[in-house]
Structure 1
Amino acid sequence: MANTVWDTKTQTFHGGQEHMFLDNFIEDFSVTTNYLGTPVGALEAAKQAIHDIHHYPAANQEPAKTSLAQFLWPNDYKEHHGRLLMGNGASELIDLVVRQCLKQHDTNQPTWKGSPWNVQYQEYQRSATTNGFKILEPSNPDRVDMLCIVNPCNPTGDYFSVEPLKAWIKANIAVGGTVIVDESMQPWHSCEFRNDSLISEHEFAREMWEQEKVSIHVMHSWTKIWSCTGLRIGSVICPTAMHCEQLKKIQVPWSVNGPALKFVEAVVQDKAYLEETWQHTTRLRAHLVDRLLGLHPEWIIHGKPFLSWVWVDMGSQQMADQAVDLARQAGVPVRSGTPGYKCLSFVRVAVRKETEVDVLISAWKSL
């Protein structure tokens, strides 16, 4: 079903496709979007922007980019605005940074390594493989030319707080290397998320560039926290404005469409939405964990309490496959750990409201 949507020779499997094939669709547990759904005000702004689709969107991404910069750095956004670039989802920007890194190592085959955890979002490795990097295993102690870590890690739920993250980067990147830290799920941390994030570590980024010629990029896909995956909104914070300009040289013009720009301009003002997210996600996740372990106490649940999903080891591929099938039949698809991640006994389940969780738990009572 969803597997047939992807060209497996050229694309990496991703969740979020099955809903269109289900006549009895109720809720999508296969994607890690915010349980609240799309913010109403920002959605209305995107709808209104449709009336301007006979015009090109702003080539400089303004005023949306300034609005996003103000969200990231409320007190000193003007100082860092030049380091920010928006893109058509994080996927476009991932590819731009990988290609730019490749340019710097065109005399030999550069090396690439992912997070220290056994698996993470696959787009980074896919892009590195496509562009000819030599892929090293996470356990390989060698320093690499390009280091990519998803933090918090999707799907495993592992998380480095900011100081251990900085130490890990220093221990694994080669002089002159490129780092991408994907913090797409980090804003779920709390209202104080900026304090445990690389977005606030300006001095660290500056020192790594000036002393080691290591360029650190902080990547965000904004489509999860604001539940707007269909719009494709991403951003990257570069170590310097010069790095940002280099990416713009190879970025296609108008890659962020008009409705997406208007959505961003509006959504960063919706403080109540994020307050409700921080207030209830942890509670709803704990409820989901309790319900899952109530079915099978032997299941192992992975991930930090603040995250918008759980990574469940069901103990066997047979049970995980059956769980995926039963959820689909009930109209509440979950993410199998097999395609893409090759974690055969695992299933990823998004945090959702209690009534929607009831449907999933009922579907799994026969497991």
Structure 2
Amino acid sequence: MEYQHGGDIYTNHVKIDYSANINPLGVPKGVAEAICGAVADCDRYPDSQSASLRNKLSKFHGVSENTIVCGNGAADLIFQVVFTRKPKEALLIAPSFLEYEQALRAVSCHISYYDLKAEEGFLLNVENLISWIQESNIRFQMIFLCNPNNPTGFAITRERMEAFLEFCRTNRIFCVVDECFNEFLEEPKRYSILDSMSCLEWNHVFLLKAFTKIYAMAGIRLGYGICNDGKILEQIHSLRQPWSISSLAQAAGEAALSETEYVENTRKLMRKERDFMKGQLSSLGFHVFDSMANYIFFKDERPEALVQDKLLYHQMLSKQVLIRSCGNYRGLDGTYYRICIKQRAENEEFLTILKTILEKGE
């Protein structure tokens, strides 16, 4: 089975991984210490309700802990909410995160797609989306929105999201909003619907967040969802296996919420290195899209890349550098790529290898 995501360092011989969008600052010291400290209690079952973690999350976000559910990463919760709702008709934005489609297909849901256009920079226009839904005459029961979107990295402001989610409420459409990359944005609150959920008392929204990316905890597997509909959360609890979040993950999550300086330093780093990498890739002749997150989405427009599938991917891999080919996203092909953003020394090493490939055509 072909690996569908970034981070496939297990079947490839890789020295530098630019395919997974993980915080380049690495696991925070406090989180690592909490994990080590929790090892002593590994002879006990973890708390199946993640009560202490949910309590800390409620204080961190200013929401009731009764609106929070934790999972074994965000992907776990994607499947749980889909299995709970069991929609017959769903809408996906394309391109976007592959796991949404996989979860929907698991419940035999019919999927329609709203295709973003390359000539528009793969940007989502909310007003056009609403018009398209109205004209489709399809009674959608579920919609997934990734904000900022993966792999394009573009984010929609809270006001625009509110307008769309109000439309969905009127039309009885349940919305899953994925904000797993929100913390990498320069102004995360400007793009998050968290406050809107409380103020507008939305019951038709499931907000998805994760520790995976921002705290570099991909191997720990910890995500959480926020939803005002208690019945949905009860159904999720009844469906999931009781010990899906390990005691190590729960301890790591609690510690991570105290890492405010770490997160601020991350945003400063992202702002600087994102602009640097965008400029460098553009100067090398790539078509770079307007990413706002911790990754960059671009197109290889070299003539030879148009006739050799995933040419740049294979060229970089020959140098033991792994990048994310986006050829398996709907609407994209092997000329589109996504790379993460790391620290300056790593980025310069990446660019040196890339320049060598472009100069020699290797």
Give the TM-score category using the shorter length: 0.7 to 0.9
Q: Are residue 28 (structure 1) and residue 14 (structure 2) matched?
A: no
Distance in 1 of aligned mates of 2:308 and 2:195: 43
Q: Are residue 89 (structure 1) and residue 73 (structure 2) matched?
A: yes
- CA-atom RMSD in angstroms: 2.1
Residue 326 of structure 1 corresponds to which residue in structure 2? 315
1:251 Cα shift? 1.5
Give the one of 7, 14, 19 matched to 1:16. Answer: 7
The letter of the residue matching 2:296 is V
1:341 Cα shift? 4.6
Distance change in 2, residues 1:156/1:131 (3 Å)? same
State the TM-score, normalizing by the size of structure 1: 0.84
Residue 212 of structure 1 corresponds to which residue in structure 2? none
Distance in 2 of aligned mates of 1:95 and 1:166: 25
Residue 349 of structure 1 corresponds to which residue in structure 2? 339
Residue 359 of structure 1 corresponds to which residue in structure 2? 349
- 1:257-296, aligned counterparts within 5 Å? 257-296=246-285
Partners of 1:334 and 1:348 within 8 A in 2: yes
The letter of the residue matching 2:349 is V
The letter of the residue matching 1:218 is L
1:156 Cα shift? 1.1
Residue 108 of structure 2 corresponds to which residue in structure 1? 132
1:270 Cα shift? 1.1
The letter of the residue matching 2:91 is K
Unaligned runs of 5+ residues in structure 2 are: 116-131
Give the one of 292, 300, 305 matched to 2:287. Answer: 300
Partners of 1:152 and 1:158 within 8 A in 2: yes
Distance in 2 of aligned mates of 1:270 and 1:327: 34
Partners of 2:168 and 2:175 within 8 A in 1: no
Give the one of 192, 195, 198 matched to 1:197. Answer: 192
Residue 45 of structure 1 corresponds to which residue in structure 2? 34
Distance change in 2, residues 1:287/1:56 (3 Å)? same
Output one character per residue of 1:15-40: Cα deviation in whole Å (capped at 9) or x when no partner. Answer: 10126632xx4332101111211112
State the TM-score, normalizing by the size of structure 2: 0.85
Residue 121 of structure 1 corresponds to which residue in structure 2? 97
Residue 298 of structure 2 corresponds to which residue in structure 1? 312
Unaligned runs of 5+ residues in structure 1 are: 7-12, 210-214
1:92 Cα shift? 1.2
Distance in 2 of aligned mates of 1:194 and 1:293: 29
Distance in 2 of aligned mates of 1:18 and 1:251: 29
Match of 1:201, SS?
A: helix
Which has the higher mean CA deviation after the structures are superposed, 160-169 or 261-270? 160-169
Residue 247 of structure 1 corresponds to which residue in structure 2? 236
Residue 186 of structure 1 corresponds to which residue in structure 2? 182
Task: Give aligned pairs, total.
Answer: 333
Give the one of 143, 146, 149 matched to 1:147. Answer: 143
